[in-house]
Amino acid sequence: MLTNKQYELLTFIDEILESRGIAPSFEEMKKAINLKSKSGIHRLIIALEERGYLRRLPNRARALEILKLPNNKGTNRINFNSSNVVKGNFSSNQNEGKSNTDNHETTIPLYGKIAAGMPIEALNDPSVYLSIPANMVGNGEYFALTIEGESMIEEGILDGDNVIIRQTNHAENGSIIVALIDDKEATLKRIRKKGDTIALEPANASHETQIYGPDRVKVQGKLVGLIRSYN
């Protein structure tokens, strides 16, 4: 038995998946079912997962899979992203920059941990490389970082995830980026430029937005996907 809000959210997600092929954002879900906070959406999604109605796919933010619907509306609903579910595969630097065309994989450097909470140490030289599906990347340079913290959980980015980043020095308002603060600390946040200030926004109601002057923040890259490993 689902609560009214659980039912509303499940059917809304299903409708958006059917029409767009990609799950709605937490902000869209919040507005659709008239909740005040994204943390409420996160709790509903967890409840729906526990009841076997949906699951979050491990390799991309915002990727959801509908497993069944109530009231005979359908069962075993799988969205198109399910074929992209992968488990993280680590290799030594002897495979640096090489792609596996037979398995349609490529490798990118893993630069260690990055905070999805308070900033931690800046990026280091890679010691290992991460094997990922080749279709997760396109033109340009890419690297991976391991998430530490829970400030981006409402975007489906969890502690321990490996995020895939496209290297760039520019980002549009609202993008999820790797920000380098004061040339020594790196963090993953959503960027908002407001006049002469830069806001780095978390996706967790229990975390505060960080405000900096424009000379203190450098964009290092934009989020394009993630890999989640289950041990």
Question: Which of the residues are catalytic?
Answer: 151, 189
SS3 217: strand
Residue 24 CA from chain centroid, whole number: 13
Burial class (CB in 10 A: 0-12, 13-18, 19+), 78: exposed
Q: Which residue has the tokens 């075993």?
A: 76
The set of residues, in sequence order, having a beta carbon less than 8 Å from that of 108 and lying 6+ positions away, is 129, 130, 132, 137, 142, 143, 144, 164
The CA angle 11-38-162, to the nearest 5 degrees, is: 95
In contact, 179 and 145? CB cutoff 8 Å: no
Amino acid at 85: V
Using DSSP's 3-state secondary structure scheme, residue 76 falls into coil
- Amino acid in position 31: K
Helices (H), the chain: 4-20, 26-32, 38-50
How many Cβ atoms sit within 10 Å of the Cβ of residue 85? Answer: 16
Strand pairing category for 162-167 and 176-181: unpaired
